[in-house]
Every structure is written in structure tokens, then in C-alpha cells.
Structure 1
Amino acid sequence: MFLIAVTSCPTGIAHTYMAAEALETAAREAGHEIVVETQGAGGAVRVSQADLDRADAVILAADVEVRDKHRFTGLPTVVSGVKRGISDPAGLIREAEAAARAGVRTSTATSTVPGAAAAPATKVEAGGSVGSRVRQWLMTGVSYMIPFVAAGGIMIALGFMLARIAGGDQGAVEVTQIPITDLIAGFDPTSGMEWAALLFQGGVAAFGFLVAVLAGFIAYAIADRPGLAPGFVAGALSGVVGAGFLGGLVGGFVAGFLALGISRLRVPKAVASLMPVVVTPLLATFATTVVMLLVIGRPLASVQTGLTDGLGSLSGGSIAVLGVVLGLMMAFDMGGPVNKTAYVFATGGLTASAIADSSAALTVMAVVMAAGMTPPLGLALATVVRKHLFTEAERENGKAAWLLGASFITEGAIPFAAADPLRVIPSIMVGSGVTGGLVAAFGSKLAAPHGGIWVTPLISGIPGYLVAVVVGTLVTAALVVVSKSLGRGRQAVRTADEELALVA
């Protein structure tokens, strides 16, 4: 058969491409041809019309809305989450085979119209549980916020690093005091301090959008386009009242539900056409403004201040305990809700002031990144030191896991965990917990929210950070090898007993 697949995940980084590779391998092993369209962060190379014309079935393995899904209307279609594309690609291939043989022609058309501009990607399952839908709404906002965090955080960190080189110990302070008007009026390309100021100002500008983008796309996920305006306004007002990241998160939900409620009102036909573009955004934005400024703004600002002060007061043993907890969370579901909760907690603390003051929030970011690197690295090491404990496919995955782990893509551990969860998950959790505790104890700091080993120059306290990653990798590999060896020994004993029983 000739199959087509589309893979896509909220962040468009790891799951998207891992699912594509797994589906390609499973299809080859089943004797089929397959073309996979990855709708990831780097954009998508669309399947050709010729491929669509000869396709027997389509697999949509996605956690966000598949763009231009109308192309697959009339083709037998299998729909699943992107994680199943990684953990059970053979099962998806079998379902596609069955759908093609049955000749079931399903309509997969959506509100997307051929030739129309694609809307921002999101997916909320109408039949999902409340918890599942809340997570999907939140992850939609987070997925659009991450590029701003990455660009802003790295630019600010680079600006400070260059300022210290050009201006000495006080350079990091001086660079924040260079007015942007001076850069515009008379930029000196030979001045290291002015280049540092340029990086700093660009990073601060990117950070200025964080909360608004988070709130805007949470509201968009809830109410579609009518939620964008009130959502962005909620995020902007959160900054005005000092509620920060927490205010944007809550404000996004408030704006989304207000817009959704207003858009569902029954109105005369003459007004209905104006509802999505004028009436709903206007009323929802006004209602959001009232709620943010007069009802929840000040209480959320107080909570945000308490959280910031509490994080700043952590030191010694208390921050080491926090490091262990965050490390365990990062490894628990390898890119799932618990992992993303820890990641969002870390990125939420990244602000221009936190980076300038080198606060404890930067230690939290270092903890989360290091702890997210060790699961794939530890498993990759285990496949090298005890090859016979792993299948050929797992050894191949181990080769890729080196790069995935080094790049802070925790999802590189998923194929191993899916095959042997009871041994792998506890092992990688212990390794990540050790790493998180050590990074916190060493006091390493990091302003970049992503990049893994490739942003090492931006780390404060590099030796301690690298030691923590190496120790966590060794602990993970050792525990995986021991647990699999014990399991293999028990299996051998059972096999011997069964053979004796047969002889008897």
C-alpha cells in the first residue's frame, strides 16, 4: 500500500520528527510505502498532489490541529495523538491497512477552506476530559510563547556576556543603562558595549511579548479567533498590574471563556455576521479589562510577588530539594504534562530583571534543562555498555539519543520507556533527580530556556553543571543496566523451570 502520514506536536520540535521516523520504519517493515509530512516548528513540506492521488490511507498523528486537513477528505483516515506514533507505530500502520481494505471513506474536512490562510495551530478534543482540555489550552499558549522566551533569553544572556568582556565586572550593569535612543541616534559598530546593548534591548523587547502571547493563545485555544484580542489584552494588563506570568495564565482563561460565552449568544441575523470580528472581541475585551483591573489583578499580583520572593529566598538545602523535585518531574513523562509543568515553572521565572540580578530563577532554569538532558543520555550510554540488554531497534535509537539528550530533547527516552516502562522510568527519574539536586547545590545558573549543551557558554558555573549532567547520566545508565539485568536473570530462571516441566 501507499500511505500518507502527518505528524505534529504542540512545540513542533521532538515528538513531531520522532513519530515521523517511527512511522517510516514501521511502514517499511510492513512492506508499504509511506510519505510523512511533518508539521513542525520549521514549517512543513507538503505532500504532493500526486502522492494524494495514489494514497490508500492517511494517518494523522497530531496533538495540534492538522493544517489544510481538507486535502485528505475522502481518504480512509486513522487519527491518533502524536505519542502513539512513537510508542505504537506498527499499530497505526495496521489500522491504516484495515481502513484501506474496508474502503471506509471518511470526511476529514475542517473549517479550513482550500486556499485560505492557515490559522494558528491548536487542538482541543471536544470529547476529552476537563483536565485534558485544560492541559491542551495551556500547552497551546506555551507552545507559542516558547520562541519568544528562547529568542529573548538568549539575546539578553549574550548581551550580558559581551558586556562583561567589553566593560569588565560592571559591564552587565552599564549595558542596562545605555538608552535605546543613543543606539538609534549614533550606533558605534566598533564598540563592544553598544553591541551588547543592542542584544540586550532586542531581548527585552522579545520578553515584552511573553505574557501577552501566553494569554492570547490560551484564549485562542478556548474561543478560536474571537479570543485573540481579549487574550492579548489580558496579558498586557497583567504586566500593568504586576501579576506577571501567573496573571497572564489566569487572564488567558478568563478572556477565552468570556469570548466563548459571548460568541454563543443568539443574536439577530443582521448582527450575526459582525459577531466574530467586531461584537465578540469588543465585548470580551471590555469584560476582560474589568475583570483584570478591578477583580483579579491585585490578588494575582500579590501571589506572583510571593512566589518571586519565595524563590529568591531559597538557598542551600531548600533549593537543592526543589532541584530534586523538578528533576523527577522532568523525567516522569518525558515531555508530557508533568514535564511541561516543570518547564513552564522554570521559563515563567525568566524575566529581564531576573537575568540582570542573576536570581535563583536562573538556577531553576539550569536545573530543568540539565535534568531533561540526562534520560536520553543515560539510555544512550546503557546501549553502549550493555548492548545485549537491548534490541537492535533500541540500539539504533540509542545512537540518536546522544544528540537528542545533548540538545535537551527529553523525548529521546520515550522509545525505551514505551518498551520497558517499569524498569526505565524509575531509573531515569532517579538520574534526573540526582542531576537536579546537584545543579541546585552547585548554584549553576542559566538564562537560555533551550539548547542543551549548545548553550553551555551562557551557563554560570559551568564545571558544576557539567559534573551534574555526567553524574546523572552515569546513575541513569547504571540503574537501567542493573534493572534490565535482574529482569533478564529472572526471565532465564523462568525459562529453565518451564523446560524442566516439559521434560518431566
Structure 2
Amino acid sequence: MKFVAVTSCPTGIAHTYMAAEALEQAGKAAGHEVVVETQGSIGTEEIDDVVIAAADGVIFAADLEVQGRERFAGKPTVDVGVKRGVHEPAKVIEEAVAAVEAGPVAVDTAAAAPATPAKPKDQSTGSKVRQWLMTGVSHMIPFVAAGGILIALGFMLAQVAWGGAEGAIEVTAVDQKALFADFQWGSLQAWSVLLLATGQLAFNFLVPVLSGYIAYGIADRPGLVPGFVGGAAAVMVDAGFLGGLVTGFLAGFIARWISRWKVPKGMRGIMPVIVIPLLSSIIVGFLMLVVLGVPIAGLMSGLTNFLNGLSGDQLIILGAILGAMMGSDLGGPINKVAYTFGTTGLATTGLASDAAQYKIMAAVMLGGMVAPLAMALATTVRKSLFTEQERQNGRAAWLLGASFISEGAIPFAAADPLRVIAASIIGSATTGALSMAFNVTLMAPHGGIWVLPLVGGWIWFLVALAAGVAVSTLVLVTLKEMHFRKTHGGLSSTQISDELADVPASA
């Protein structure tokens, strides 16, 4: 059979392309042809309409709303999460085959344009909410990464420009407009202010982008205007990210509700241009500015004060929890919740250089680096426990882990989820706790070891990372060895490997 597929994940990086490759290989192994369209962070190269028309069925392995879904109308469709595309591609192919054999989907061929196929019946409300939320988060993360690193670079350069730690204070006191009007190209102080200001501009978009694209996920394009307006209103009343989440969902449902009104034909043309954005923006703006803003702002202030008040054992426990979350599903929703919690804290203004928010960000990043580095180390020190393909993946995992790409451990988790995830959680929790205990801070939201100059206490950063990787590797090797002995009559992997090495090549 011939299938077309679409894959996408919240960040549009690793899972998107790993699912595509897995589905292509599983289809080929089963004797089918699978052409995949990846809707990732670097854009989308759409499948040709001729290929879609010739396909027997469609596979959606996506955690975000599929763009251009109407192109696939009328084809038997299987709709699953992207993680199933990575971990269970063969089963997904089997389900697609079964869908084709069950018969075609009824479509009104007389319509001018094909209707968008309905969502699968088994998609729960929780799955939809998660999909909408991840649509917002996925569009927000590039702003977080760019803005956060620019701000951190600005502070770092300021310490050089002003000759000491007081530079982090001096750079925020400069009249930015006056400096840019008479920019001194050779001044480090001027460049530090420029980097800081540019990063702050990027950070100013975080809440509106989060809100706008949550609304977009719910209502499509009609949700964008009220979503962005609601996010900006949340910023105005200091309701922060929690306010952005609220306005995103409000804007999406209100815009979708208005867009479904039955109106005279003469009004249809102005509905998406005037009526929907006008009415939905008024409603969302009123609700956030007048009704919900003050209580949500109070909650955000309370959360900030709570974080700033954490110390000692409380921070260590929090670090262990965040680390465990980062290592639990390797770029999945639990990992993203912890990462979003860490990055949103960076947007809090007026933080001291040793604020709890910076410690949280350090623990989160370190926790996300452990799993792929541990897989790389394990495949190096105990090669006999891994296949040749896994050893090749292990070599790539060195760079992925060092760059804070947790997804580098996914191939190992797909092959042996119980032992790999257990080792990942234990090692990442260890690193998160040690990071907090050592008071490591980080102003940058991404980058791994490549942002080491932006780390406060970089030696302890490396110590915490090395300790977690060692613990995770030890747990993984021990669990795998126990399983190996159980399935090979008590012989260790090393013994088996040595015996095979003694066998003549001719044999």
C-alpha cells in the first residue's frame, strides 16, 4: 500500500524527524511505501498533491494541529501522537493498513472544497487541551532561547565593560534610547546594553506569543488577534504566563464560537477581517483587564515570592523533582512542563544574580543533559550490552547531550524503555539536586555546555553533570547486565563477548 504521513512535535526538532524516519523504515519493512511530511521548526515541505491523491491512507503522528489537514480529506486516516510514531511505528503502520481495509471515508465530492476530516473519536479532551497548549509552547520556545541567551550575554559583557559584578546593575540603569541615538561602536558598554535590550524585546513577546498560538490551535487564524491582544493585556496587568494561558484558551474558544455564527451571505466577507477580531478582542480584553487580571497577578506575585523564599533542603528537593521530570520522557510533555517552568522564571524582572529562578534554570538544563550523555558513556564502557546501531547512536548522543537535546536518548528508550527511563530519572534527579546544593545559576534557557561562560559556578555545574551521568550510567549498566544474565543462563555480557571473540573467523 501507499501511505502519506505528517509528523510534528511541540518543539519541532527531534521527535518530528525521528517519527518520520521510523515510519518510513517500518513501512518499508512491511512492504509498504510511506512518504512523510515533517512540519518542524525549520518549516514544512509539503507533499505533492499527486502523491496524496495516489495514497491509500494517511497517518498523522502529531502533537500539534496538522497544517493543511484538508489536503488529506477523504482518505482513511490514523491519528496518533508523535511518540507512538517514534516508539511503535510498526503498530501504527498496521493500524493504517486496517483503516484502509475498513473502507474509504465518505466525502461530499460535490462540495467546492473538501471538508476537514473530523478528529478521531478516541481523542480525549485532555489530548486536545495538551495539543493546544503545546502549540503555544512550541512557538514560544524560540523567543525564550533567543531572548534568554541575548540577555545573559548582555549581563556577561557588562561585567567586563564595567570591570566587575556591579556591571549587571549598571547596564540596567543606562538610558537606552539616548545610547542608541549616539551609539559608540567601540564601546563594550554600548554593546552590552544593545544585547540586553534586544533580548528584553524578544522576551516581551513571550506571553503574547504563548496566548496567541494557544488560541490559534483552538480556532485557527481567527484566534490569533484576540490571543495576542489577551496576552498583551496579561503583561499589562502583571498576570504573566498564567494570564497568558488563560487568555489563550479564552480567546480560542470565543473566536471559534463567533466564527460559527450563522450570518447573512453579505456579512461573511467581513467576519474574519472585522467582526471576529473586534468582538473577540473586546471580550478577552475586558475579562483580563477588568475581571481576571488582578487575582491572577496576585497568584503570580505569590509564586515569585515563594520561589525567592526557597532555600537549603527545599531547593534541593525542588531540583531533584525538576531533574526527574526532565529525564522522565526525554522531550515529551513532562519534560516540557519542567522546561517551561524553568524558562518562564527567567522573564521575571528585577532578579538578583543568585535568584532562585536562575538556580531552577540551571537544574532544569542539567537534568535534560544527563540521559543522552549517560547513553553515550554506557555504550562506550560496556559495548557488549548494546547493538551496533545503539553504539552508533551513542556516538551521536555525546554531542546531543552536551547541547541539551534530551531527545538524543530516545532511540535507547524506544528499544528498552523500562531500564533506560529508570536510569535517566535517577541520574537526572541526582544532577538536579546537586545543582541546587552547589547553588549553580544560569541565565540562558538553552545551549548546554556551549553557554558555560553564562553559568554561575561553572565548575560545580560540570561536577553536578558528571555525577548525574555517572549515576545514570551505573544504574543502566547494572539493570541491563541483570537482564542479560537472566536471559543467557547466568553468563555476563562480557563472558559472551569474550567467547565470541575466541571463535575463528572461518567458523
TM range (shorter): 0.7 to 0.9
What secondary structure, in the 3-state scheme, does the structure 2 residue paired with 1:40 have? coil
Residue 134 (structure 2) pairs with residue 139 (structure 1): yes
State the AA in 2 paired with 1:486: M
Deviates more, 1:132-141 or 1:154-163: 132-141
- Alpha-carbon separation, structure 2, partners of 1:124 and 1:401: 36
- Alpha-carbon separation, structure 2, partners of 1:484 and 1:130: 38
Note closer, same or farther for the CA distance 1:134–1:324 as it changes in structure 2 (3 Å cut).
Answer: same
What secondary structure, in the 3-state scheme, does the structure 1 residue paired with 2:91 have? helix
Note closer, same or farther for the CA distance 1:275–1:373 as it changes in structure 2 (3 Å cut).
Answer: same
Structure 1 partner of 2:343: 347
Structure 1 partner of 2:41: 41
Note closer, same or farther for the CA distance 1:252–1:79 as it changes in structure 2 (3 Å cut).
Answer: closer
Residue 121 (structure 2) pairs with residue 153 (structure 1): no
Note closer, same or farther for the CA distance 1:106–1:467 as it changes in structure 2 (3 Å cut).
Answer: farther
- Alpha-carbon separation, structure 2, partners of 1:124 and 1:163: 52
- Alpha-carbon separation, structure 1, partners of 2:61 and 2:158: 46
- Alpha-carbon separation, structure 1, partners of 2:219 and 2:44: 26
Residue 324 (structure 2) pairs with residue 325 (structure 1): no
Backbone CA RMSD of aligned residues: 2.9
- How far residue 55 of structure 1 moved from its aligned partner, in angstroms, is 6.0
Deviations 1:329-364 (A, max 9, x none): 112222222211111111111116256644210111
Count of residue correspondences:
483
State the AA in 2 paired with 1:470: A
Structure 2 partner of 1:501: none
Deviates more, 1:412-421 or 1:336-345: 412-421
8 Å contact kept, 2:243–2:293: yes
Residue 113 (structure 2) pairs with residue 84 (structure 1): no
Deviates more, 1:81-90 or 1:40-49: 40-49
Note closer, same or farther for the CA distance 1:15–1:190 as it changes in structure 2 (3 Å cut).
Answer: same
Structure 2 partner of 1:303: 299
State the AA in 2 paired with 1:15: H
- Alpha-carbon separation, structure 2, partners of 1:56 and 1:249: 39
8 Å contact kept, 1:166–1:192: yes
8 Å contact kept, 1:355–1:447: no
Structure 2 partner of 1:10: 10
- Alpha-carbon separation, structure 2, partners of 1:262 and 1:53: 34
- How far residue 406 of structure 1 moved from its aligned partner, in angstroms, is 1.8
Residues 394-413 of structure 1: matches in 2 within 5 Å? 394-413=390-409
What secondary structure, in the 3-state scheme, does the structure 2 residue paired with 1:132 have? helix
Structure 2 partner of 1:166: 161
What secondary structure, in the 3-state scheme, does the structure 2 residue paired with 1:168 have? coil
- How far residue 34 of structure 1 moved from its aligned partner, in angstroms, is 5.3
- Alpha-carbon separation, structure 1, partners of 2:199 and 2:328: 32
- Alpha-carbon separation, structure 2, partners of 1:105 and 1:34: 18
State the AA in 2 paired with 1:64: L
State the AA in 2 paired with 1:149: V
State the AA in 2 paired with 1:89: P
- Alpha-carbon separation, structure 2, partners of 1:355 and 1:153: 14
- How far residue 194 of structure 1 moved from its aligned partner, in angstroms, is 0.5
Residue 172 (structure 2) pairs with residue 176 (structure 1): yes
Q: 1:453 aligns with which of 439, 445, 449?
A: 449
Residue 128 (structure 2) pairs with residue 128 (structure 1): no
What secondary structure, in the 3-state scheme, does the structure 1 residue paired with 2:162 have? helix
- Alpha-carbon separation, structure 2, partners of 1:341 and 1:215: 16
- Alpha-carbon separation, structure 2, partners of 1:53 and 1:246: 44
Residue 282 (structure 2) pairs with residue 286 (structure 1): yes
- Alpha-carbon separation, structure 2, partners of 1:399 and 1:423: 20
Structure 2 partner of 1:499: none
- Alpha-carbon separation, structure 1, partners of 2:291 and 2:34: 54
- Alpha-carbon separation, structure 2, partners of 1:126 and 1:230: 29
Which ranges in structure 1 are unaligned for 5 or more consecutive residues?
115-122, 496-504
- Alpha-carbon separation, structure 1, partners of 2:288 and 2:72: 43
8 Å contact kept, 1:70–1:108: no
Structure 1 partner of 2:494: none
- How far residue 172 of structure 1 moved from its aligned partner, in angstroms, is 1.9
Residue 414 (structure 2) pairs with residue 418 (structure 1): yes
8 Å contact kept, 2:371–2:427: yes
8 Å contact kept, 2:79–2:120: no
- Alpha-carbon separation, structure 1, partners of 2:266 and 2:56: 45
- Alpha-carbon separation, structure 2, partners of 1:15 and 1:423: 20
Which ranges in structure 2 are unaligned for 5 or more consecutive residues?
492-507
- Alpha-carbon separation, structure 2, partners of 1:244 and 1:398: 40
- Alpha-carbon separation, structure 1, partners of 2:98 and 2:47: 22
